[in-house]
Homo-oligomer: A and B are copies of this chain.
């Protein structure tokens, strides 16, 4: 199965279903604490993780840095179309990880979505770009007020969850889940089955069936 076919499957599976099936597989910590959609009606997005790692800021006093650090603008130009940029901002919400100018460029490059456990700024400008964004806060100060970009495409933590470059990120109205790349096909299969089960149970409830009497999905593996 090609990557793009796989990613497309995830666009049809709720994060709630994915969190449930991964929990049953023994992966109990895949839902990202903090980020929620910047507006209510973004579509569900799925894509390959482009990780960004921020550390606390140090003032740019002469001699304070051994070498120049990269900035957001460098990272954006190496992102691939369809990627989801996911930032380890360490929960910092009094400085932005992204603002509207950088995000407008990310839209041009085809980035599929943004996730940060920190904050974004230029709320109205960001919404105008159309980029789907999951964030833990909205703020006014630029990154430099409290954050420095240290690296990209390294393993990170985001909202208490390990994220490796290339993991599948899925985000919807219930927040963001991380699907490890090596189990993504398996999770997609189980997730789709869970969606069918949920629909079947909802249909029964609509007919007045009590919860203890809900029938299993016809033809489902146990």
Contacts and interface: CB of A to CB of B under 8 A. Distances in A.
Q: How many copies does the complex hold?
A: 6
Nearest to A128: B202
A42 B150 CA distance: 33
Contact of A175 (B26, B90, B108, B140): B140
A157 B69 CA distance: 14
Given A15-B140, A55-B157, A156-B55, A64 B28 contact: no
A177 B140 CA distance: 8
Contacts of A81: none
Interface of A: 14-16, 18-20, 23, 25-31, 33, 36, 55-59, 61-66, 69, 73-74, 76-77, 90, 93-94, 96, 99-102, 104-105, 108, 121-125, 138-142, 144-145, 148, 150-151, 154-157, 160-162, 164, 166, 173-175, 177, 180-183, 186, 198, 201-202, 205-206, 208, 210-212
